[in-house]
Amino acid sequence: MPMNSLKDLIFRYCVLFGKRFSYREKIAFLRVISKELIQLGYYVDAKIAKLQLAKKKYENYYNAYIGDLDSADVIVCTYYDTGVNYFNLIKIFAFEQRFNKRRYFGGLIPVFMLLAIAISLNLFIFLPNIKASGIYSISGALAAIVTLSAFYIILKFKNGISNKKNFVCNTSSILVMLNTINKMNKYQKKRVAFVLYDGGCSNQYGLKMIEHYSDKLKKKKFIFLDSLGNSESLLFFKPKSFEFAAEHINFLDGKLETTLKKYLMITAGALNEYNQVQINNAHSRGDNILADSIIEKHSKSLHSLLTLLITPEKSKNLTDKVILDK
């Protein structure tokens, strides 16, 4: 795509539809991107699954399946939902999947602070005045307003305050996916499918939906993307059990908690001492910068890798010479 088109996509999916936390926001995003994908030659099948949280309480998850997954050789996946604002107090790493208590309670810090303020106002300001003036007084009315407001805030933000800025984590991967599709020819589009899955910022339920989509998927090759706008340098991971090699790519050891066997993982950044890749400013208002040049660069790399994966064996000696921009 031309650079001006990429800038339009960044504005559309990072700003206009950059928050995908509630079910309304997710559905609005999926409707808009489905139209985009249809124009690029793909049909989109959106599926819903219900996760039971309590006896009569369910949570909906929405996956978008792009193309014919059953006949594709390679399926590229990334999560599209956005998470809670941690106010840059907690570090986020690529391909994290396990529930983190520290992260969960970190997202609730603002709620706890507001609750503490409400309790303090009632105990030290309103109640002494109520004892002196009675409950039918200005202090009584203010105490009622503060208490009701506190309960409303707790109910509304019981899962944390949603983050509004999600340029890198993980809208950047979605934009790389779109830009890569635009570079593909008709043959490649038949051989490659895509999935935008839900729950990537929470319990990975969308990944479980992919695992149960079809028995045919167990033999497919998968590529998982995470926060590709984090850096100009790409990092490639794969489990030891998946025997795959490509010239000019150094695959690091990495794995996901999934029943899928053949998959690659791509992110951007630098490894720390624990072999993790930190996503800078993720889940904070600081995640508000994304260069279209990085999207274009990583799209070329992903397209080259896909070309290698779907090329017939007889022709692979030619495509092996493709150098992926890292």
Tell me the pLDDT tens digit for each residue of 169-194. Answer: 999 999 999 999 999 999 999 999 99
186 and 287 assigned to the same domain: yes
Looking at the fold, whether 315 and 229 belong to one and the same domain comes out as yes
**pLDDT grade, residue 97 (50/70/90)?**
confident
Whether 122 is in a domain gets the answer yes
Q: What is the CATH number of the domain that holds 314?
A: 3.40.630.10
Which range in 14-28, 54-68, 125-139 is most confidently predicted, on average pLDDT? 14-28
Whole-number pLDDT of residue 190? 96
Same structural domain, 137 and 176: no
CA 29 to the chain's CA centroid: 13
Same domain, 142 and 194: no
Domain count, the chain: 2
pLDDT grade for 155, boundaries at 50, 70 and 90: confident
- Same-domain status, 89 and 205: yes
- For 243-288, write each residue's pLDDT tens digit: 999 888 999 999 999 999 999 999 999 999 999 999 999 999 999 9
Residues in contact with 302: Cβ distance below 8 Å, sequence separation at least 6, in sequence order: 76, 176, 177, 180, 223, 225, 266
- Give alpha helix (H) positions in 193-247: 205-211
**Widest distance between CA atoms in the chain:** 91
Provide mean pLDDT across the span 198-207.
94
Q: Are residues 143 and 175 in the same domain?
A: no
Residue corresponding to tokens 């899962």: 159
Residue 125 shares a structural domain with residue 258:
no
Q: What pLDDT does residue 104 have? A: 72
Residue 140 lies in a domain: yes
Radius of gyration of the chain (CA): 23
**Model confidence at 319: pLDDT above 90:** no
- 3-class DSSP state of 323: coil
Torsions phi, psi for 158 (to 5 deg): -65, -20
Instruction: Provide the edge-to-edge strand list for the sheet that holds 251-253.
Output: 44-54, 57-66, 192-197, 74-79, 221-226, 263-268, 234-238, 251-253
Residue 104 lies in a domain: no
- Whole-number pLDDT of residue 290: 97
Which residues are CB-neighbours of 237 under 8 A, at least 6 positions away? 95, 251, 252, 253, 254, 255, 264, 265, 266, 267
The average pLDDT across 12-35 equals: 96
Query: What does pTM read for this prediction?
Result: 0.90
Say whether the peptide bond before residue 170 is cis (omega within 30 degrees of 0). Answer: yes
Q: Is the residue at 82 inside a domain?
A: yes
In a domain? residue 20: yes
Q: Are residues 175 and 89 in the same domain?
A: yes
167 shares its domain with 152: no
Residues 212 and 233 both lie in one domain: yes
- Which residue segment(s) compose the domain that 266 sits in? 3-98+163-319
Selection from 126-135, 229-238, 313-322 with the highest mean pLDDT = 229-238
Same domain? 243 vs 187: yes
10-20 average pLDDT score: 97
Q: Is residue 325 part of a domain?
A: no
- Same domain assignment for residues 125 and 259: no
> Is 305 within a domain?
yes
- Would 103 be classed as within a structural domain? no
